[in-house]
Amino acid sequence: MTDDNNKLRDETLCARGSDAHDLGAVAPPIYLSSTFRFESTAQVADYAGGKRERYQYTRYGNPTVEAVEVQLAALEHGTRAFLFASGMAATSTWCHAFLGPGDKLVAARQLYGGTTHFFEHFLRPAGITVDRVDFSDLAILERALPGAKGCWFETPTNPTMRIVDGPAVAALCRRHHVLSAIDNTFATPIIQKPLDWGVDWVMHSATKYLGGHADLTGGVLVTGSDGDAARVGETRRSLGGILDPHAAFLMHRGIKTLALRMERHNNNALALARWLAGQPQVSRVHYPGLADHPGHAIAARQMKGFGGVVAVDIRGGYEAAARFVDHLRVIINAASLGGVESLVSLPVLTSHVHATEAERREVAVTDGTVRISVGIESVDDLKADLAAALAAV
C-alpha cells in the first residue's frame, strides 16, 4: 500500500489489503518457499553486510507474511507490524525483547489466563518482577510504575469485559518512561486504536477476530516506534515464532471482511446483552454497552462499538451454568472467540482454569460465569437458543 493509505478508512483498508510485492494479483500469492535464491555470492555478501534488503529464509521474513503486516500496521495507525504463530508467541516475544533479569513489569490484575500463567510461571522464575495491580484505579497504577520497564494490560478484559481508561494509562506510562503494551484482541483496530492514545505496542491474538473463521492460529504485534520494532524483529528471528505463510494468507482473507463482521458482532452482542439483562436466571450481565456497566462512559468515549463478547453470571453457580451451556443447540461449546459462529465457554474450565478461587473473585469470575462470543448469525435464532437453554436451568 502507498503513503495515501493513512487517508483511507478502515473499511477500505480491510477490503483492499496490501499492495506489498504487487504482481498484479488481486489475491496475494502464497510464498510457501522456506528459502530464497541469491543470484551471486556478491548478493549474499551484501545481504550479510546489511547493504541489501531482501528475503533469505522464511523464519526471518516472507512476502506473504509481510503483506499482511503492512495491512495491519495501517489499520492500527502504526509503522511496523510483526506476525506470529499465536497470540502467546507474540506476547512472549515482546517480553523477551524488552525485559530481563532485575526488570519490573506492571501488569493488570484482569488478563487472559494464558498471559497471567506466562507472567507468573516463566517471567518470575527468570528474575523479572511482575507487579499486578488494578488498572481501574489510576492512583494505584501510578504508584506502581516508577522503576518499571514495561506495562501490560487489556481493555475490554477477558472474560468479564471490564474497561480500562486506555489514554490515561498511556499518559502515565509516558510520564514514567515505561514501555506500554495492550492486548487489543477483544476490540480489534476497528473498535479502538490504542497507538492513537499513546500506547507503544498493540498485541492481538489473530486467531480471533482478525482471522474470524476459526481456521487459523496467529498473533500480531504493532508499534509506531521503528527503534523498538528492530528489537522485536530480531527477537522473533531468534525465537522462530513467525507465522506460516499459508496462515498469513488465511488471515489476509479474513481481514477483508473484518469491518463488516465487527459491525454485526457489535449489533448482535448489544441486542443479546439487553435481552439477557431481563432474564430471571441471569444475575449479572457483563457488557460495556449497557448503561449500568461501570465502564460504560469510558467505553463510549474510547471505543467505536462495544465488542462481540458478553459474559453472564447464571444463578445457581457451576451446575446451573453447565446445564445452560449443555442445552445450547445453535451456540457452540468451544474455548475461543471472535469467529463468525457464536461460541460459549465456562471460564472456570478454560481461560481461568489455573486461577485460584481468590484470583477469580478479584476479577469477577464466578463458578456460574459464562462467556459468550456472539457471532454473526440471526440474532433471533441466537435469542431463541439462549431462551431454550435458560428454560432448562
Asked about 80 being catalytic, the answer comes back as: no
The two beta strands, 219-223 and 201-205, are antiparallel
Asked about 208 being catalytic, the answer comes back as: yes
Catalytic residue (choose from 10, 165, 183, 200) = 183
Asked about 16 being catalytic, the answer comes back as: no
pLDDT of res. 1: 43
Residue 11, C-alpha cell as written in the block: 473499511
Q: From first to last of its 393 residues, what are the pLDDT tens digits of the chain?
A: 445 556 799 999 999 877 766 667 888 899 999 999 988 999 888 888 887 778 888 999 999 999 999 999 999 999 999 999 999 999 999 999 999 999 999 999 999 989 999 999 999 999 999 999 999 999 999 999 999 999 999 999 999 999 999 999 999 999 999 999 999 999 999 999 999 999 999 999 999 999 999 999 999 999 999 889 999 999 999 999 999 999 999 999 999 999 999 999 999 999 999 999 999 999 999 999 999 999 999 999 999 999 999 999 999 999 999 999 999 999 999 999 999 999 999 999 998 888 888 888 888 999 999 999 999 999 999 999 999 999 999
> Residue 328 in contact with residue 389, Cβ under 8 Å?
yes
Q: From CA 358, how far away is CA 330, in angstroms rounded?
A: 33
pLDDT of res. 4: 56
Catalytic residue (choose from 16, 47, 55, 59) = 59
Query: HSE-up of 288 (CA within 13 Å, CB side)?
Result: 30
Give Cβ neighbours of residue 111 (< 8 Å, ≥ 6 apart). Answer: 119, 152, 153, 154, 157, 158, 183
Catalytic residue (choose from 162, 208, 236, 253) = 208
Q: From CA 190, how far away is CA 254, in angstroms rounded?
A: 14
Catalytic residue (choose from 10, 31, 112, 367) = 112
pLDDT of res. 349: 94
Asked about 131 being catalytic, the answer comes back as: no
Note the pTM of the prediction, 2 decimals.
Answer: 0.94
